[in-house]
Amino acid sequence: MLQFDVSHALPFLPKNWLSSRLDGLTDSRALLEKGNGVGGEFTGWVRLPENYDRKELARVLQTARIIRDQSQVLIVVGIGGSYLGARAVLELVTSPNYNLFCKGPQVFFTGNTLSSDALNELLDYVRDKDFSVNVISKSGSTTESSIAFLLFRQLLEEKYGKAGARDRIFATTDWHKGTLRALANQEGYATFSVPGSIGGRYSVLTAAGLLPLAVAGIDVEELLAGAADAMVRLRQPGQDNPAWQYAAARHALYTEGKNIELLACYEPSFRFFGEWWKQLFGESEGKDGRGIFPASVEFTADLHSMGQYIQEGERDLFETVVRFTLPASTCTLTPTPGDHLDFLRGKDLRYVNEQARRGTVLAHVDGGVPNLLLSVDERTAYWVGQLIYFFEYSCGLSGYLLGVNPFDQPGVEAYKENMFALLGKPGYEEKRKKLESRC
């Protein structure tokens, strides 16, 4: 099981940082377990690992085999929670360079931008390749994803005809309602559901994440097994619960003026897991004028760009470091005698990486930056499943401790309404007049 270590944050925490929050954590746990707090209708993820529909999982695996057999490329269309979880797991379990050496279909993610350059580049790339599309959206009306799906659907129909395209489009959406559901029913696309009780940023362990991951050859049953084992442990109340410790430490540091959290890892493959984590905590806690600002850094690379600020800038941040204790490979260093790296002779690179981590923790703590450490065994589907559930459950606890609804995101709509008005969408005429005068 993953391990949480708060020792390098203790100098910055009040002595009662955990004990004084046990009542609040007990209440927060009850709200999550019973689903009767604010936003409780979106707590379906809490028991998802044990309640997952096994028939749908079988369909996910069967469909993944179909896509692998018929396609050189899978295009995943989605934004936010509709793609970040899948990409996070894909890169963390395999590599950021997955598409360079994969044995099955390449997997590309789009629908998360309005850049014509980015979309045209990918359209040109698949134009002469066999490809399929997995479009993921609970509503089906998100502008970025809708535009991308329009373009790739048109290319599919151009290449394979309308009937052929139908067999290469797979929609993951709400089970009953929404624009994408209506279109899928009308066109006869194969569909998977995101349960209505699970919001997008908590949906990585639904078909939204599992289908593209299964296409990439990742053992999604092991992913769910890891999450299930984490669920059993983290739902147990008490101060030994690592999710309780993490939520309490974050809340205590926040009350001490530490309002920025840096999620750090010493593996480049962790980058998009950091992006997923930022949405999870940013959308869950950033509301009502409250919340810790989530940011992520990649060490050791960012020590050469952000290291100066972390060491000596504003003292309003703390770090949470994710450490994988068993790297998948070794690399023994054998420098030429007399080389300036000769002091590393015979040492394994993973040992060097670990000493860099230890040295950085000590430097940052000395510089006034509290450090939290989360240790996980390996970058495998099982352990990543544990990591996902740990952060989801901790986020739910943290949001309730903070006194906000961890499961809504009302502020996300503000830019959309302005964009629709400026684009001339029907119904926004008056708003457009007001905005034009301000632009």
Point out the residues that are catalytic: 283, 304, 416
300 upstream amide cis, omega within 30 of 0:
yes
Q: Which two tokens stand for residue 91?
A: 């890169």
Q: Which two tokens stand for residue 37?
A: 């707090």
SS (H, E, C) the chain: CCEEECHHHHHHCCCCCCHHHHHHHHHHHHHHHHCCCCCHHHECCCCHHHHCCHHHHHHHHHHHHHHHHHCCEEEEECCHHHCHHHHHHHHHHCCCCHHHHCCCCEEEEECCCCCHHHHHHHHHHHCCCCEEEEEECCCCCCHHHHHHHHHHHHHHHHHHHHHHHHCCEEEEECCCCCHHHHHHHHHCCEEEECCCCECHHHCCCCHHHHHHHHHCCCCHHHHHHHHHHHHHHHCCCCCCCHHHHHHHHHHHHHHCCCCEEEEEECCHHHHHHHHHHHHHHHHHHCECCECCEEEEEECCHHHHCCHHHHHHCCCCEEEEEEEECCCCCCCECCCCCCCCCHHHCCCEHHHHHHHHHHHHHHHHHHCCCCEEEEEECCCCHHHHHHHHHHHHHHHHHHHHHHCCCCCCCHHHHHHHHHHHHHHCCCCCHHHHHHHHCCC
Q: How long is the chain?
A: 439
| CA-wise closest residue to 208 among 150, 135, 272 | 135
* Bridge partners for 73 per DSSP: 106, 131
Rounded Cα–Cα distance for residues 408 and 285 (Å): 9
